[in-house]
Amino acid sequence: MLKEKPNHKPSTTAEVYLEACRLTGVVPVSYFIRHRGTSTMDLNHHGLGPLGCKALAIALVTDMTISTLELADNHILAEGAKHLVEMLKANFTINTMDLSDNHLQSVGAECIGKMLLENISLKSLKLSANNEGLETLDLSWNHLRMKGAVAFSAGLKVNITLKHLDLSWNGFGNEGALAMGEALKYNNTLVHLNLNNNRITNEGVGTLCKGLEFNDTLRVLLLAYNSLTVEGALALVNVVKNSHKTALEEINICNVLVNENFVRLLELTCQEHPSLEVQYGGVGGFIAKKPPKRLDPMKVIQDYLDQRKLRLWDFFRNIDKDGTMRVPVGDFRKAVQVQSSIPLDRYQIEELIQRLDRERTGMVDYRYNASHHQPSKTHRA
């Protein structure tokens, strides 16, 4: 009897690549085969497409020589990005990659972003391209410092789609804050910027504020857990007070201990910008005289309602038009402030908000408080 020869399994990177090309139905790129064994593989402008990228990714799973992979302008699309991400789960040799001008779009960018949360080998990733639709980008915990922070901020100058940007835990520092301030002078689409935990000091906030003076779209700025003092806090509030262009509605510096001067400035600013919310750590410092005792804010509201023969339920229900029993903090603050007959100062309003939004979700939840005053059900004919 004749014995069948065992199937030959491809062993080298070139053999694996050729077999992968055969299975995917694409023409092999001869440059890749000729230059195998080199540390830098330049496959820019080779028209790989998503299937060609798949064949390449299969071959690179076990490759131990290529450290720099250049794939710019290959029209790999989101599908190709997914194949590369799968490959990088097994390949730890590649540390530099260029994927610019590949029409990754939102799906591909999201795929790459998720990969970066776990990848430990990539040190440089180039994704520059015309962004046609990406509105939310989370780059937190990615060690974007010094040159990286400056380079990213430079790209933000000309971006016209991003609205929500999370750069927390990156160590931007004052150099990054300076670059971000420059970007905010020109960017007119960003509405939410998270710079929490970025080693920014008062000096960095000062340069950031110079950009905020010219920005008319940013509504939320998170700067918690940076190395700020009351000096930086005053600079931020002064931007809102003195700039006619600013759209800022929320500033989070919840770890910063402020003083009475800051509180007075904030109260004055809020008279002209009633939607402004600043979360700070508290009021500290030496106080020469005992501060005036303030009434419980809930009792103040209850007295106001009793005088008008209203119920607490009615008060909240007038604010909560949707009947969800949860109201955005900004809307709640505005509603309380416009009621001039409710004698609550800013301290009491913030105390009330903290009590009704204990988890800092940005929503006032009055289900528990209102349930104790909910009117009893009545039968109607």
The model's pLDDT over 232-263, given as tens digits with 9 standing for 90+, comes to 999 999 999 998 889 999 999 988 999 999 99
Regarding whether 120 and 88 lie in a shared domain, the answer is: yes
Q: Is the pLDDT of residue 85 over 50?
A: yes
User: Cα separations (Å) of 140 from 89, 116, 134, 149, 165?
Assistant: 20, 10, 16, 12, 9
State the Cα–Cα distance between residues 327 and 358, nearest whole angstrom.
Answer: 14
Give the pLDDT score at 320: 72
Among 45, 33, 105, 90, residue whose Cα is nearest residue 71: 45
State the Cα–Cα distance between residues 257 and 261, nearest whole angstrom.
Answer: 12
**Average of per-residue pLDDT across 148-162:** 88
Regarding whether 238 and 121 lie in a shared domain, the answer is: no
Helices and strands of the chain, counted as H and E runs: 15, 12
Regarding whether 249 and 151 lie in a shared domain, the answer is: yes
Give the pLDDT score at 332: 78
Instruction: Find how far residue 169's CA is from the centre of its chain.
Output: 11
pTM of the predicted model over 0.95: no
Say which CATH number the domain at 165 has: 3.80.10.10
**Average of per-residue pLDDT across 140-161:** 86
State the Cα–Cα distance between residues 70 and 41, nearest whole angstrom.
Answer: 6
Regarding whether 16 and 88 lie in a shared domain, the answer is: yes
pLDDT band at 130 (very low <50, low <70, confident <90, very high): low
pLDDT band at 4 (very low <50, low <70, confident <90, very high): very low
Cβ contact 24:48 at 8 Å:
no
Q: Which residues contact 143 (CB under 8 A, 6 or more apart)?
A: 170, 171
Q: Is the pLDDT of residue 343 over 90?
A: no
Q: Is the pLDDT of residue 349 over 80?
A: no
Regarding whether 350 and 235 lie in a shared domain, the answer is: no
Q: Which of 18-27, 97-106, 302-311, 335-344 has maximum average pLDDT?
A: 18-27
Residue 70, classed as helix, strand or coil, is strand
User: Cα separations (Å) of 316 from 10, 53, 282, 296, 370?
Assistant: 71, 57, 27, 17, 8
Range of the domain at 123: 11-131
Regarding whether 77 and 214 lie in a shared domain, the answer is: no
Give the pLDDT score at 292: 53
Burial of 3 (C-beta count, 10 Å sphere; 0-12/13-18/19+) = exposed
Regarding whether 274 and 143 lie in a shared domain, the answer is: yes
Q: What is the pLDDT of residues 100-128, one digit of tens each?
A: 999 888 888 889 888 888 888 998 888 87
Give the pLDDT score at 132: 59
Residue 379 lies in a domain: no
Cβ contact 192:220 at 8 Å:
yes
State the Cα–Cα distance between residues 176 and 153, nearest whole angstrom.
Answer: 8
Regarding whether 58 and 171 lie in a shared domain, the answer is: no
Regarding whether 249 and 171 lie in a shared domain, the answer is: yes
Q: Which residues contact 306 (CB under 8 A, 6 or more apart)?
A: none
Q: Two tokens at 167?
A: 């750069």
Q: Is the pLDDT of residue 381 over 60?
A: no
From 131, 166, 192, give the residue that closes a domain. Answer: 131
Give the pLDDT score at 3: 42
Q: What is the pLDDT of residues 313-336, one digit of tens each?
A: 777 777 777 777 777 777 777 777
Residue 25 lies in a domain: yes
Residue 5 lies in a domain: no
**Average of per-residue pLDDT across 199-228:** 95
State the Cα–Cα distance between residues 278 and 254, nearest whole angstrom.
Answer: 8
Instruction: Estimate the crossing angle of helix 230-242 against helix 260-272, to 10 degrees.
Output: 20
Regarding whether 264 and 142 lie in a shared domain, the answer is: yes
From 290, 306, 328, give the residue that closes a domain. Answer: 290
Give the pLDDT score at 367: 67
Q: Two tokens at 327?
A: 């109201």
Say which CATH number the domain at 313 has: 1.10.238.10
Regarding whether 196 and 173 lie in a shared domain, the answer is: yes
State the Cα–Cα distance between residues 173 and 195, nearest whole angstrom.
Answer: 10
From 271, 290, 309, give the residue that closes a domain. Answer: 290
Residue 4 lies in a domain: no
State the Cα–Cα distance between residues 349 and 267, nearest whole angstrom.
Answer: 11
Q: Which residue has the tokens 């409710």?
A: 342
Q: Is the pLDDT of residue 337 over 50?
A: yes
Regarding whether 154 and 277 lie in a shared domain, the answer is: yes
Among 273, 253, 252, 277, residue whose Cα is nearest residue 333: 277
Cβ contact 220:195 at 8 Å:
no
Residue 377 lies in a domain: no
Cβ contact 50:79 at 8 Å:
yes
Residue 265 lies in a domain: yes
Residue 339 lies in a domain: yes
Report the C-alpha dihedral over residues 327, 333, 163, 148, rounded to 10 degrees: -120
Q: Is the pLDDT of residue 293 over 70?
A: no
State the Cα–Cα distance between residues 152 and 139, nearest whole angstrom.
Answer: 10
Q: Which residue has the tokens 């799968």?
A: 86
pLDDT band at 84 (very low <50, low <70, confident <90, very high): very high
**Average of per-residue pLDDT across 67-87:** 95
User: Above pLDDT 70, what percent of the chain?
Assistant: 86
Q: Is the pLDDT of residue 8 over 60?
A: no
**Average of per-residue pLDDT across 1-29:** 77
Average pLDDT of the chain is 84
Residue 104 lies in a domain: yes
Q: Are strands 326-328 and 363-365 parallel, antiparallel or unpaired?
A: antiparallel
- Please count the structural domains in the chain: 3
- Which is more confidently placed, 48 or 314? 48
Strand 40-42's sheet: what is its strand order?
40-42, 68-70, 96-98, 124-126
Q: Is the pLDDT of residue 338 over 80?
A: no
Q: Is the pLDDT of residue 273 over 70?
A: yes
Give the pLDDT score at 131: 55
State the Cα–Cα distance between residues 314 and 319, nearest whole angstrom.
Answer: 9
